[in-house]
């Protein structure tokens, strides 16, 4: 069956609307708490007084809509290890679930 561009976009939009979303509002509080635990006590104290004084970073791959999430890093080490579970959660949500419960990546030929 040949689909018009309009029909194809409507189908893709309908499927993507059913994908559970991970938003910036869900991720940021828990991510910032994890990063605060990795900071030194002095950096935590400074964060509570003046968060803008610390080093900041951002990432686009910890939400399903790829929005920019900006967070205070301070002197935390292994930031990439702290971000890894958040990125993995997004990967898991981007699976397409078939009727038999088998998961395949979006765009897979199965």
Give yes or no for residue 89 having a pLDDT over 60: yes
At 95 the pLDDT is 63
Give yes or no for residue 102 having a pLDDT over 60: no
- Please tell me which residue, 106 or 24, carries the higher pLDDT value: 24
Per-residue confidence band for 107, with pLDDT thresholds at 50, 70 and 90: very low
* Radius of gyration of the chain measured on its C-alpha atoms: 19
> What's the CA gap between 94 and 101, in Å, rounded?
15
Report the interhelical angle of 24-38 vs 79-93 (nearest 10°): 160
- Please tell me which residue, 96 or 9, carries the higher pLDDT value: 9
Q: What is the pTM (predicted TM-score) of this model? A: 0.66
At 98 the pLDDT is 47
At 108 the pLDDT is 43
29-88 per-position pLDDT tens digit: 999 999 999 999 999 999 999 988 899 998 888 887 788 899 999 999 889 999 998 888
> What's the CA gap between 96 and 87, in Å, rounded?
17
């Amino acid at each position: 069956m040949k689909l018009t561009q309009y029909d194809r976009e409507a189908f893709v939009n309908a499927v993507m609307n059913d994908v559970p979303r991970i938003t910036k509002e869900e991720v940021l509080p828990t991510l910032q708490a994890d990063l605060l635990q990795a900071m030194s006590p002095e950096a935590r104290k400074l964060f509570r007084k003046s968060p803008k004084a610390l080093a900041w970073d951002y990432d686009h791959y910890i939400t399903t809509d790829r929005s920019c999430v900006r967070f205070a890093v301070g002197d935390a080490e292994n930031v990439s290890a702290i971000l890894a579970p958040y990125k993995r959660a997004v990967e898991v949500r981007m699976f397409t679930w078939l009727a038999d419960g088998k998961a395949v990546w979006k765009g897979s030929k199965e």
